[in-house]
Amino acid sequence: MYDHNGEEIFVIDGHVHLWDATEGNITHEGGEEFIQCFYDYHTTFTPEDRQWSIEEYRKYGPDRMVEDLFENAAADMAIFQPTYLTDFYGDGFNTTEQNAELATEYPERFVLNGTFDPRDGEEGLEYLEELHDTYDIQGVKLYTAEWRGESKGWRLDDEDAFEFLEKCEELGIENIHAHKGPTIRPLNRDAFDVGDVDDAASSFPDLNFVVEHVGLPRLDDFCWIAAQEPNVYGGLAVAAPFAQNRPAKFSEILSELLWWLGEDRVLFGSDYAIWNPDWLVEAVLEAELTQEDRMEYGVEWDLETKRKVMGENAAELYDIDIDEKKRQFREDEISERFGLEDHYASDAPAAADD
């Protein structure tokens, strides 16, 4: 747990990946463009002394991921968000099955999400059901700009997509995470537009729509949609690293979200391994709203709000009992591996690695 001025904060990283962008897995030039674009985001926002080489960035593996999330950082749990991109990568970029390698080894630490693509039709519905039956998934991550043959994207408010959302309702898959943020080469910016969330959220009020990346650069559009749809949430992945090198911009983004959505519908995510929680958790928690934003919006980035955004809101969506998790972590394998038993056994939280 993160030690924030002597107060413990249970951190659930709501957006992580275990990907393979090695040259041997790339089958389309778009795969190389994609990982290079990711790496540009990584180097732009990551402190220079924390930047990875492109070689280790292509495939870092499960051991390093566990260390980065739990040994060197103050993250307590993480949620896998898959991104298949099978037209670009032979074995997929970051599939549910790849993520399951860690999620099944450390089920107390990871939440495993699946996916669907309505262009897959009946086979896709069967695959969604298979993922649910195999892994008991509670959520899906959707990538509406993914290329598939001649198609360069799909919409969440299409009739075909609604058939899959109906299947999610039937299976009890309640959390719908949609990438609605910056484009990544060579994908199309418009295919990530947040506008299709509106009708989907209205039509499926019993599902939770977590808009990953809060619609950036269309933050205003997202906020107006979320204000009228109580089942729409904002995921801070991509917005979070602004806390490190664009603090005034981060203050503006966070103030807008807290004003429009309130403190109960915003979730932290690092987007690992684009960025690493070993520095990002601290950057976000130690960030301050500007005086101008505090006065204009009338919101605060206080301890109660931080606890909700950094973990409690995700715990609510995924039925995670934080107090029970703390008890489990007193003797789980990861705590034993990194010598964290005392941090969970007492009231003393673990500080992030400096």
Q: What is the rounded average pLDDT for all residues in the chain?
A: 95
| Beta carbons of 50 and 279 less than 8 angstroms apart | yes
- The CATH code of domain 2-345 reads 3.20.20.140
Is the Cα dihedral 235, 109, 315, 229 positive or negative? positive
Report the alpha-carbon angle 320-326-331, nearest 5: 120
What is the spatial distance between Cα 45 and Cα 212, in angstroms, rounded to a whole number? 18
153: left (phi over 0), alpha (psi -120 to 50) or beta: left
Beta strand 7-9 pairing with 12-16 = unpaired
Q: Considering the entire predicted model, what is its pTM?
A: 0.96
Compute CA distances 129 → 94, 100, 172, whole Å.
19, 16, 11
First-residue to last-residue Cα distance in the chain: 14
What are the sequence ranges of the domains in the chain?
A: 2-345
pLDDT at 304: 97
Nearest Cα residue to 194 out of 183, 181, 207, 204: 181
What's the rounded Cα separation, in Å, for the pair 261 and 283?
A: 22
Average pLDDT over residues 55-68: 96
User: Is residue 314 pLDDT above 90, yes or no?
Assistant: yes
Higher pLDDT, 349 or 296: 296
Q: Which helix (H) or strand (E) holds 143?
A: none
pLDDT band, residue 353 (cuts 50/70/90): very low
Query: What size, in residues, is the chain?
Result: 354
pLDDT at 354 over 50: no
Looking only at the bridges linking them, the beta strands covering 7-9 and 2-4 are antiparallel
pLDDT at 238 > cutoff 60: yes
Rounded to whole angstroms, the Cα distance separating 156 from 46 reads 32
| 166 CB-near residues (< 8 Å, 6+ apart) | none
pLDDT of 107 reads 96
- Residues 33 and 42: their CA atoms lie apart, in Å, by 14
Q: What pLDDT, in 10s, does the model give residues 166-214?
A: 999 999 999 999 999 998 999 998 999 999 999 999 999 999 999 999 9
